[in-house]
A = this chain, B = another copy of it.
């Protein structure tokens, strides 16, 4: 069955927190020596607005680890709950012996800046360059700069999956604005 493709347009790199800070599971796509891969990832944090920095923990046992370290690039994609089975399946197998785009019926799209592909079926895709490796050996911790961002315009906020471990996902609920209660410089 064909999956829904999200039509994405340019999105400001300093605003990727809108989708990442709430803590969804993301799909990280990578490219190395003509091969693509995808991994599911829940351990990430925003680190800075501008430059737009994201920190991620990627286990070195993971096939994606070497591809991302060697290429110095990846794309962080935001899947919606329609892709829950794919998110789980992608985490269950290894890119060492599986073409995950083909196996899970996902479509790679050419990125603007990096060689790693966007995932057409994801709500948003953030092209990333590796900028900091000092904690790679001790903690498997990468810092990426988002150099180009793409996001769908509708819905305004995607319904995302937030992993709790033990097979349980929290599904993102309603969005509420408390804008008037914040001091402007604290927004």
| CB of A1 closer than 8 Å to a CB of B | no
Question: Which residue of B is nearest A185, CB measured?
Answer: B92
B18 touches A166 (CB 8 A): yes
CA distance A54 to B57 in the complex (A): 11
| CB of A53 closer than 8 Å to a CB of B | yes
Residues of chain A in range 149-178 having any CB-CB distance to chain B below 8 Å: 157, 162-178
Q: Report the contact-size class of chain A (Cβ under 8 Å from the partner).
A: 35 or more
Please state the number of chain copies in the assembly. Answer: 2
Which B residues lie within 8 Å of A24 (CB)?
23
Q: How far is the CB of A50 from chain B (nearest CB, A)?
A: 13
| CB of A96 closer than 8 Å to a CB of B | no
A169 touches B178 (CB 8 A): yes
CA distance A15 to B168 in the complex (A): 13
Which B residues lie within 8 Å of A172 (CB)?
162, 170, 172-173
CA distance A21 to B169 in the complex (A): 10
| CB of A28 closer than 8 Å to a CB of B | no
| CB of A108 closer than 8 Å to a CB of B | no
**A23-B162, A53-B139, A92-B186 known; 20 other A-B pairs, CB under 8 Å?**
A15-B165, A18-B166, A21-B43, A21-B162, A22-B23, A23-B23, A46-B57, A47-B57, A47-B141, A55-B57, A92-B181, A132-B139, A162-B172, A167-B177, A167-B182, A169-B175, A170-B172, A170-B175, A171-B174, A171-B176
